[in-house]
Amino acid sequence: MSDSNLLWCDLANFYENGKKYWDSVPATVDGMLGGLSHVSSVDIGESIKFLKQFIQSPVSKTNTNYALDCGAGIGRVTKRLLLPLFKQVDMLELCQHFLDQAPEYIGDEMSRVPNCICSGLQDFQPEPYKYDVIWCQWVLGHLTDDDLVSFFQKCRLALTADGLIIFKENVSMNAEFDKLDSSYVRTRENYLGLVEQAGLSVIKETKQKCFPCDLFEVRMFAIK
């Protein structure tokens, strides 16, 4: 989202307002999903199917040594999607109280989470050539367009040779701004344009199945 597209929201406090909202949210699965914890299993199931195409098919080249969970919260995606498939997972999360809850939520497998990084995506500086998969889910709406392009570019440099960025986000027919949590629901075309601006390409895209019809459409994109 470019600055000009943010004129109708509180640009000066865009990131601050988002953090204030999430700082007030309980460190639970229901808190992570905005009261929609009942969709968690369906969400994870479709994510597993999508991810396995790149790491467990006969023609897969992407390794399973190290993944990064962006907007990790208490570790719902880390625990249920990434740790079962990767040797190690780092968690990147804006709010420290979510990360503080992660060891209790994840349990013994937390030993395979070397780093819990408390940072906004716009400020994150990843190590180069580190991650096989960078997973971003329901978090990119908290970035402006310019910062999202920059984030994609930094993530590209953080990937291993056959690594991938995968993001899973709400999309709408028309761009919408949510004042409650200071986030932006982009159109599919907006996301595709930002991927292109970052010098990346979509190699696979799919729509989340079996979500309630009154929710936003959710799409998964694999880019590199």
Rounded distance between C-alpha atoms, residue 169 and residue 147, angstroms? 16
In whole angstroms, give the CA distance from residue 123 to residue 196. Answer: 21
What is the distance between the alpha carbons of residues 35 and 51, in angstroms, rounded to a whole number?
Answer: 25
List binding-site positions for S-adenosyl-L-methionine.
Answer: 71, 76, 121-122, 137
Give the residue among 113, 131, 111, 37 at the shortest CA–CA distance from 72.
113
Pairing label, strands 159-171, 131-137: parallel
Token representation of residue 156 = 């590209």
Instruction: Dump strand ranges (E) for the chain.
Output: 66-70, 88-93, 116-118, 131-137, 159-171, 176-178, 183-185, 202-207, 217-223
Could you give the CA distance from residue 216 to residue 145 in angstroms, rounded to a whole number? 20
State the CB neighbour count (10 A cutoff) for residue 109: 14
47 token code pair: 């994510």
Please tell me what DSSP assigns to residue 5.
Answer: G
Q: Which residues are annotated as a binding site?
A: 71, 76, 121-122, 137
